[in-house]
Structure 1
Amino acid sequence: MELSLANIFLKIVSIVGLISALTLVTVYHLLPRAKISRIMIWYKRQKRGVAVNYVEHEGYRFCYFCRGEPGLQPSALILHGLAFNKDIWLNTIKFLPKDLHLVCLDMPGHGETTCLLRDSYAAVDQAKKIHQFVECIGLNQKPFHLVGTSMGGMIAGVYAAQYPSEVSGLSLLCPLGLRYPDDNNNAFKRLREQSIKSHDVFKLGLYHPSTKNMQLLKGYVADWRQQNAFLVKCFLDLSNPKSEYSLHDNMSNISAPTQVLWGKDDQVADSSGAEILAHAIPNSQVHMLERCGHIIAFERPRKSAKLLLEFYNSVCDKAENKKLA
């Protein structure tokens, strides 16, 4: 009798499991891909414990999410790259302490932050916009740690050079905006050439651009086709002669302790840029990530979070020792 009950129970579990699997497959194929992405992102936000907020400055709305509360240790402001939004960092912050105050911003024109085609999206102008945001939420009441990747890294470097008293530490992940000895290594030139050859420029950013990885990555840019005019405008503003080398032109003015992370297999921004930055910024360190392309936050979230946290803690320790000396 006990054996029969056990068999019945196992059959029920198997049937329930099969129905669940069929339901998931059906939902995946019937729901629009964008809606699936939004569900996935909503779920990750809940798991990470982040809260989405909005703040306005003279009619301009910034959208961001944060986790934790400001405390004795510096807060961290985290900037994403071109065509993405704040959610690209959800995988990385999974591996960061929940008591660390994090602010992930939708960059000007991206995500749910106001998009105005009449605005300039050159690096210096975006840095000014971000400074407005920082002042609005009072993040600069004391120095904070600034993190940026790709376009966000370019702008983070410009910000650190122009507002040095506000930045306690700087982490740059494969930033754009450098001048290379070989012009073929220019990131904007590579992106421009790739966009002519293929509509799938995101493939260029991955070390392993499998179908699965491409589908997951595009989940963070589900609405990019609707923003095509803005993305073209933003790219042209960033890559114009006055903005193209903004990080290079400002890097010698960066005084904050600086960390440079770069994927060894980056096909967008040549990894030799790490040494260019290291030579120009006295208080800097470089980490090269194996089996990693340009989109570090997506491909190597655990490793990059570990390196970011180690650097953040070392900067905090040095600042504390300086106070005690």
Structure 2
Amino acid sequence: MLAIPILSFVASFLLWPAVLIKLYHWYWRRRLGLQVDYAECDGFHFCYMHRGKPGSRPSMLMLHGFSAHKDMWLGVLKFVESMQLNKKPFHLVGTSMGGNVAGVYAARYPKDLSSLTLICPAGLKYPEDSTFVKRLRDIEKTKDVHSIPLIPTTPEEMEEMLKLCSFVRFKIPQQVLDVSGASVLADALPGCQVDLLDNCGHSVVMERPRKAAQLIMDFIIRQQNSGSSSTKKLS
């Protein structure tokens, strides 16, 4: 009796993997009570997920990473204004490139925020280059764009890269951004809180979602309980 459902699942996975991924995301959105909406502002088209409505407590805006450009923070500002998030201070969380965007936004509009959390943020001047960055610098010097690491250019390279997925999780991500960036923020912002996770790569939110959520919420709760609304907090 189980053979048909199992075969159907395997066939769907092999023939229509994108459909299964969409169903997976749809399920968890419904399970978590999230809704997908769209917003238009000055020619910008935003797609975002949200839950609940603004209340007495600050809202939280979470920015994902990569697939961005240097002026992305302008779009974030438009989004914040169109959603009226800046009517009162809100919590801003950014990871990777989203951390870069969040950091620039916080520097430009500090009064909009009640706290800032940066997770493996890009855009810092790291004391030490990671292996990934060193490779990119070497490629920049040689102008050999076909050997950019982690970016396959042919089906054969993609096939070889997929073979690594069983063990690449903690090896490659750790080399994307060097951990020395944490000391840069700690020195520049003495009042900030720094947390380092062992055996975790660059995609902290995906690799350690519960721990990441716990650290973020503990930080926000401590900040709210401090009762000092005039002091900006960063983790």
Instruction: Identify whether the pair has TM-score above 0.5, normalized to the shorter chain.
Output: yes
Cα pair distance change 1:284/1:190, threshold 3 Å: farther
| 2:90 is equivalent to residue 144 of structure 1 | yes
Cα pair distance change 1:150/1:20, threshold 3 Å: same
| 2:37 is equivalent to residue 53 of structure 1 | yes
Q: Which one has the bigger helix percentage? A: 1
Match of 1:181 in 2: 127
Contact (CA 8 Å) 2:46, 2:79: kept in 1 or not? Answer: yes
- Within a 5 Å distance, the mapping from 1:49-88 to structure 2 comes to 49-83=33-67
| Aligned-partner Cα distance in 2 for 1:177–1:298 | 21
Report % sequence identity: 43
Unaligned runs of 5+ in 1: 1-14, 84-107, 109-120, 204-208, 215-262
Match of 1:206 in 2: none
| Aligned-partner Cα distance in 2 for 1:198–1:281 | 33
The structural deviation recorded for 1:211 is: 3.6
The structural deviation recorded for 1:212 is: 9.1
Aligned length: 213
Cα pair distance change 1:298/1:190, threshold 3 Å: farther
2:165 to 173, 195, 210: 210
| Aligned-partner Cα distance in 1 for 2:185–2:215 | 18
Match of 1:163 in 2: 109
1:274 to 170, 178, 182: 182
The structural deviation recorded for 1:180 is: 2.3
The structural deviation recorded for 1:187 is: 6.6
Contact (CA 8 Å) 1:191, 1:268: kept in 2 or not? Answer: no
Cα pair distance change 1:303/1:36, threshold 3 Å: same
Cα pair distance change 1:199/1:301, threshold 3 Å: same
Matched to 2:7, the amino acid is L
Contact (CA 8 Å) 2:127, 2:181: kept in 1 or not? Answer: no
The structural deviation recorded for 1:302 is: 0.8
Contact (CA 8 Å) 1:149, 1:173: kept in 2 or not? Answer: yes
| 2:22 is equivalent to residue 29 of structure 1 | no
Contact (CA 8 Å) 1:190, 1:268: kept in 2 or not? Answer: no
Give the secondary-structure state (helix, strand or coil) at the position aligned to 1:37: helix
| Aligned-partner Cα distance in 1 for 2:22–2:209 | 20
Match of 1:132 in 2: 78
TM-score, normalised to structure 1, is 0.59
RMSD over equivalenced CA pairs, Å: 2.9
| Aligned-partner Cα distance in 1 for 2:74–2:127 | 29
| Aligned-partner Cα distance in 1 for 2:15–2:167 | 18
TM-score, normalised to structure 2, is 0.80
The structural deviation recorded for 1:190 is: 4.9
Contact (CA 8 Å) 1:52, 1:65: kept in 2 or not? Answer: yes
| Aligned-partner Cα distance in 2 for 1:20–1:155 | 45
Match of 1:104 in 2: none
Matched to 1:78, the amino acid is M
Give the secondary-structure state (helix, strand or coil) at the position aligned to 1:170: strand
Q: Which has the higher contact order (CA 8 A, sep 6+)?
A: 1
Unaligned runs of 5+ in 2: 140-144, 159-163, 231-235
| Aligned-partner Cα distance in 1 for 2:29–2:127 | 42
